Structure 1
């Protein structure tokens, strides 16, 4: 019910003009790498999906996109968790206006949850790097936007190794740490600090923190505006 209400409210703001042909050139290739590991129960997972849909359709995010030279970005969503098991759940879609934002939000909300288990962040970054390399769109700016509630645990490819390979390919990696106040990793440090050390990389790379999955929409919205603008 909440999903239908969200889409209905988004539709009310849509531009009445039809979406035209999708050009190959966009301002940014953005891969959203979303934690779908076993630590996330179904209710939390739904909150997470709705947070992404809300952020990507927010007027301030659309204004940032429309302020770029081509006025469009391309977005894909990947779920990660299991070692070597990252899965593309929403393929590349062009995001330029309210109508395309609604289409993207709908695809995110409707995509079946992929089967995931352990936190394999390095394998997720490797999957996203290959996804960007094969995108049907082209852009000078390429970003992997990884969110998670824990550190890398069982990757086939260590997170730092995958991070370095992505950066060498001209990709920037930013992170969203979903962590309660006072939460620390096994290394005895805040999750955001672990992500700074092992995950992010590239020019201007940064980490933001969400207090919980109810805070994802706010944190992600601010993060997207920073990445785009």
Structure 2
């Protein structure tokens, strides 16, 4: 056997295969929305309140109205991030394709299986800085890229929230929405002025942790259908879903991913 010939042939095959592998790795899956759910686990959130938050997200993805949106053809890549202080962020559930009622239920189960990683200060700006680049290094290409922040307090540590919000929007994130759990004085205004940003963005407050379940269902529903005005009922939203118009645009995720490689 002429090993030099064999080696040359194998090398040539490798060179021919390399572009195909690179192209396969660089081709993201198209989805309607990339949605990052940023959940506050700072020290002001006690164990009962954390469990109410987590269960609220579980219930949202098990909700029949939200599942009907996915069943109608909506696709999403969704990740869950627990955050607290300046250097305390954890991607508890990685980017996951949700495009059916069954996959929504499966995603709910992934959230239910997570545990609390932190209990420190409140660094919303640092959490936004943490997640924003990850939109451009995942395996998905969303028509819209949305950050969803929930929490019960204003920033008291880490990166400036307004600066982080503006930087994320400048980077290419379309929308940052807030769900403040009220109680702290001025919290609603803080979220509206420092967290919320981007065309069509909104702040959906919850009066207490007990109200979080209903608030997060409404918030995720609005995000899935493009941030349209909140419907009176979930039934109305589902009935009108097919009539909602969208201005669709795809980013060149390959170029952006190179930037953050």
TM-score band (shorter)? 0.7 to 0.9
Instruction: Return the TM-score normalized by structure 2.
Output: 0.72
Residues 71 and 101 in structure 2, CA contact (< 8 A), matched pair in contact too: no
Equivalent in the alignment of 1:10: none
2:70 to 62, 65, 83: 65
Would you say 1:202 and 2:204 are equivalent positions? Answer: no
Asked if 1:54 is matched to 2:66, the reply is: no
Q: Please report how far the alpha carbon of residue 149 of structure 1 lies from its aligned counterpart in structure 2 after TM superposition.
A: 0.3
* Cα root mean square deviation, aligned: 1.4
- C-alpha separation in 1, matches of 2:75 and 2:71: 7
- Counterpart of 2:257? none
Residue 160 of structure 1: aligned partner: 162
Which residue of 2 is the match for residue 79 of structure 1? Answer: 82
How many residue pairs align between the two structures? 197
Give 2:148's match in structure 1, choosing from 145, 150, 159: 145
Runs of 5+ consecutive residues of structure 2 not aligned to the other structure? 1-27, 226-261
User: Are positions 1:215 and 2:211 aligned together?
Assistant: yes
Q: Does 1:25 align with 2:30?
A: yes
CA distance, structure 1, for counterparts of residue 215 and residue 68 of structure 2: 17
Larger radius of gyration between Structure 1 and Structure 2: 2
Structure 1 alignment gaps of length 5 or more: 1-22
Instruction: Report Cα offsets for 1:151-203 as digits up to 9, x if no partner.
Output: 01101x211111001111221100001014xx41xxxx3x1111111111110
User: What SS is found at the alignment partner of 1:92?
Assistant: strand
Question: TM-score under structure 1 normalisation?
Answer: 0.82
**Paired residue for 1:103?**
106
Distance in 2, matches of 1:73 and 1:115, equals 27
Whether contact under 8 Å (2:52, 2:213) holds in the other structure is no
Deviations 1:53-90 (A, max 9, x none): 1012212112233445xx21011000111112211111
Q: 1:108 to 1:80 in 2, by over 3 A?
A: same
